[in-house]
């Protein structure tokens, strides 16, 4: 199944390396700045690194992820945080939240036609003045930096190859893993698809569901034309 992270879950944090820690610190800082309400949700929480960081910082946060394998890793590594098997649409089951986060390309996995429905669920879950914080790999990154390129890495117990195929609306990412099990390596394969959303389309979807204030930044401030990642803060 595409985008289910069944194979990657057990070594996802190893693949992310220090980037995962940097993500967590950045999100905690952004939430502190954006929301006085300590209750929130971390959508697409994966192995729970950001969820744990938010909880350690004093927030009461529920992690959501549609991958049971990812949630299994989150629970195993957790400190009693609450995790729910579900997607962004399921966050509407909660209410009066001060913040909702969606970190590391979560929105890129949403089909363009599904943006408003998912954003509406987040809007419904937030209290007045609550913040929706998420990032987005830009079309520039997906088409230029990733494009048709091949990536790979050889780790202690894992070697992987990452193939990319350019499509009209995004990039198909096909990964082949070679996982050490004793004296042999086991081959596993997994596919992901990331949609190349234009910033204007994302902002329009946020506005259409009711968000009052939308702030978009690049890595160091105002977005550049060659920005590879954008950071959104949408206030209800």
Q: Is residue 167 part of a domain?
A: yes
* Same domain assignment for residues 182 and 206: no
Give the closest residue to 141 by CA, choosing from 115, 118, 108. Answer: 108
Read off the pLDDT of each residue in 51-60 and give the average, rounded to a whole number: 96
Pair (65, 110) in one structural domain:
yes
For residue 146, tell me if it sits in a domain: yes
Same domain for 189 and 212? Answer: no
Q: Tell me, yes or no, whether 25 and 72 share the same domain.
A: yes
Domain CATH code at residue 59: 3.40.50.150
- What domain range is 65 assigned to? 9-138+197-235
The per-residue pLDDT for 2 is 64
- Give residue 202's pLDDT: 98
Q: In angstroms, rounded to a whole number, what is the distance separating the alpha carbons of residues 47 and 12?
A: 8
pLDDT at residue 209, as a whole number = 98
Half-sphere exposure of 74 (CA within 13 A, CB side): 28
For 29-53, how does the pLDDT look when each residue is reduced to its tens digit (9 = 90+)? 999 999 889 999 999 999 999 999 9
Reply yes or no on whether the pLDDT at 148 is more than 90.
no
Predicted confidence band at 21 (pLDDT cuts at 50, 70, 90)?
confident
Checking if the pLDDT of 193 tops 90, the result is yes
> Which pLDDT value is given to residue 1?
52
Q: How far apart are the two ends of the chain, measured CA to CA in Å?
A: 34
Residue 141 confidence (pLDDT) above 70: yes
- 147 has pLDDT over 70: yes
Q: Rounded to the nearest 10 degrees, how much is the dihedral formed by the CA atoms of 222, 224, 230, 234?
A: 40
Are residue 37 and residue 111 in the same domain, yes or no?
A: yes
Q: Rounding to the nearest 10 degrees, give the CA dihedral for residues 179, 182, 185, 191.
A: -20
What CATH number is associated with residue 188?
2.20.25.110
Identify whether residues 106 and 204 lie together within a single domain.
Answer: yes
Quick check: is 2 in a domain?
no
């Amino acid at each position: 199944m595409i985008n289910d992270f069944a194979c990657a879950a057990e070594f996802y944090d190893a693949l992310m390396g220090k980037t995962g820690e940097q993500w967590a610190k950045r999100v905690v800082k952004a939430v502190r700045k954006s929301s006085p309400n300590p209750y929130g949700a971390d959508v697409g929480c994966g192995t729970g690194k950001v969820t744990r960081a938010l909880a350690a910082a004093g927030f009461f946060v529920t992690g959501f992820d549609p991958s049971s394998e990812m949630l299994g890793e989150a629970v195993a590594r957790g400190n009693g945080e609450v995790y729910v098997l579900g997607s962004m649409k399921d966050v509407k089951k909660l209410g009066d939240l001060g913040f909702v986060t969606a970190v590391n390309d979560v929105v890129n996995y949403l089909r363009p036609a599904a943006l408003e429905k998912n954003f509406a669920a987040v809007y419904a879950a937030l209290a007045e003045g609550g913040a929706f914080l998420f990032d987005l790999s830009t079309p520039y990154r997906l088409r230029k930096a990733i494009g048709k390129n091949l990536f790979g890495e050889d780790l202690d117990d894992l070697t992987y190859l990452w193939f990319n195929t350019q499509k009209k609306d995004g990039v198909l990412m096909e990964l082949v893993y070679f996982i050490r099990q004793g004296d042999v390596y086991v081959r596993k394969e997994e596919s992901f698809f990331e949609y190349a959303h234009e910033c204007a389309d994302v902002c329009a979807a946020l506005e259409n569901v009711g968000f009052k204030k939308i702030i978009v930044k690049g890595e160091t401030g105002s977005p550049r034309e060659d920005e590879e990642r954008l950071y959104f803060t949408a206030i209800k």
